[in-house]
A = this chain, B = another copy of it.
């Protein structure tokens, strides 16, 4: 193909008079003269000016919203408002037409719900261009952060024969034919005939495998898809989502919190530094969107200020026990405004409580630690019971404004006996996890890790409010389109 220049680069060009070729899609065509072209390299269009007196009318008619064009011409300083440079068209070719009667994206505002139905075309809107550029930048920043510190990226398996973690409902993976199910003599399914010779599922977490690797490489991380077969249709849940799970040997809970806070600040700063156009656009978008809300439901800070605030302040660290005390004596608890009132130590915190702590009480990100053992997973390191005999584990959850839990982690139980005992209490089958216990048998050491939900991070940084709008093709109950 002829060499094209990306529009993003041309918009920053200072060398006028050069001949350039751009290829992209027509956003608008005004007065038979001004084409706004976008090639996806950035959210800003370039204006191409057609000499309509010397252009064939049949060609002009094909310059419609959505059409793909190749334009060659001179890059000149623009006299019009709103742009610094434009292209004086010498040659224009329609690469692909777009019937204006049928193209679903018209040059007007479409609802996010409508755009979700045409997820394959929404990439061409400013909003989704910005969202997925930010998503890209955040993903790259995650890799760069860990790479620069000598972490090893591990691809833990997606198909797993272990369902022992109990982090949630799982999808079964199988090649067994529903109409011809192999059975054992006792009538149970004969999984020996299945592809892997046993029941297999989609992973809910790479943590256990990540721990194996950490106990050899020291510092590792995963970044891959994870799955939950839960029938929850909320703005914060997906059946398929991407998770980042670092796991570090020789780390305790404080080291773990320090790393998580450092990671979050690094990637947010990276996005601010590398996606300023996009985040400015998204910040204005959010202000517009919130105009439809009552004053008291609007954000106190705009998106950019909220991100900067997050960078400039230490996350508030407190124990679960301290949080319960704050919540118990809080106004919404006293006035019975919480749906779930906080009476006693031991209660699992609901979204309303997390939001109160983050958005009303501390007004900044919060790290809660040392949760009751009863409400946390078997692999978390057990603390000594407190003076009341209450048992806690060295867990930590990071709560973000508007998002709730964005990180969940813990120091892991590295003591074989304690771990086995807890597995027994929680009915986790030790035989199936023998490989996991081997790390505690052969050179065990203190270690810790956490999981960061990538889409929740993208939600936070883009200011979008529905998780379906920050992943290209969302998977939710009854929905696996594209």
0 or 1 for each of A263-299: is its CB under 8 Å from B? (1 = yes): 0000000000000000000000000000000000000
Contact assessment for B157 and A216 in the assembled complex, using a CB-CB cutoff below 8 Å: no
With a cutoff of 8 Å between Cβ atoms, the chain B residues found around residue A139 in the complex are: 143, 153, 155
Shortest A462–chain B CB gap in Å is 14
Q: A159-B171, A480-B200 are in contact. Are A152 and B124 (CB under 8 A)?
A: no
Give the bracket for the number of chain A residues in contact with chain B.
35 or more
Contact assessment for A150 and B209 in the assembled complex, using a CB-CB cutoff below 8 Å: no
Contact assessment for B140 and A154 in the assembled complex, using a CB-CB cutoff below 8 Å: no
Give the contact stretch, choosing among A50-58, A245-253, A316-324, A382-390.
A245-253
Q: A23-B249, A132-B152, A147-B140 are in contact. Are A157 and B1 (CB under 8 A)?
A: no
Contact assessment for A218 and B39 in the assembled complex, using a CB-CB cutoff below 8 Å: yes
**Taking the complex as formed, is A47 at the interface, i.e. its CB lies under 8 A from any CB of chain B?**
no
Whole-angstrom CA separation of A155 from B97 in the bound complex = 28
Q: A68-B445, A95-B446 are in contact. Are A153 and B179 (CB under 8 A)?
A: no
Contact assessment for A174 and B175 in the assembled complex, using a CB-CB cutoff below 8 Å: no
Give the contact stretch, choosing among A353-361, A397-405, A471-479.
A471-479
**Taking the complex as formed, is A74 at the interface, i.e. its CB lies under 8 A from any CB of chain B?**
no
Contact assessment for A229 and B1 in the assembled complex, using a CB-CB cutoff below 8 Å: no
Residue of B nearest to A9 (CB): B150
Give the contact stretch, choosing among A190-198, A335-343, A371-379.
A190-198
Whole-angstrom CA separation of A182 from B444 in the bound complex = 48
**Taking the complex as formed, is A391 at the interface, i.e. its CB lies under 8 A from any CB of chain B?**
no
Contact assessment for A475 and B143 in the assembled complex, using a CB-CB cutoff below 8 Å: no
Which residues in chain A, 122-141, are within 8 Å of chain B measured between CB atoms?
123-124, 129, 132-133, 135-136, 139-140
Pick from B124, B209, B443, B482: contact of A68, CB below 8 A. B443
Contact assessment for B157 and A482 in the assembled complex, using a CB-CB cutoff below 8 Å: yes
A-B contact pairs, 23 of them (CB 8 A): A40-B216, A40-B249, A95-B250, A95-B444, A96-B445, A98-B441, A99-B441, A120-B212, A120-B438, A123-B213, A124-B216, A129-B216, A133-B152, A139-B153, A156-B472, A159-B475, A159-B480, A171-B174, A171-B195, A172-B173, A172-B175, A178-B181, A197-B480
Closest 10 CB pairs of A and B: A96-B444, A123-B216, A40-B217, A68-B443, A197-B478, A161-B480, A196-B480, A68-B445, A95-B445, A40-B218
A39-B218, A121-B216, A172-B173 known; 11 new pairs, CB 8 Å cut-off, are: A96-B443, A96-B444, A96-B445, A98-B442, A102-B441, A102-B442, A139-B143, A157-B240, A157-B475, A195-B229, A195-B477
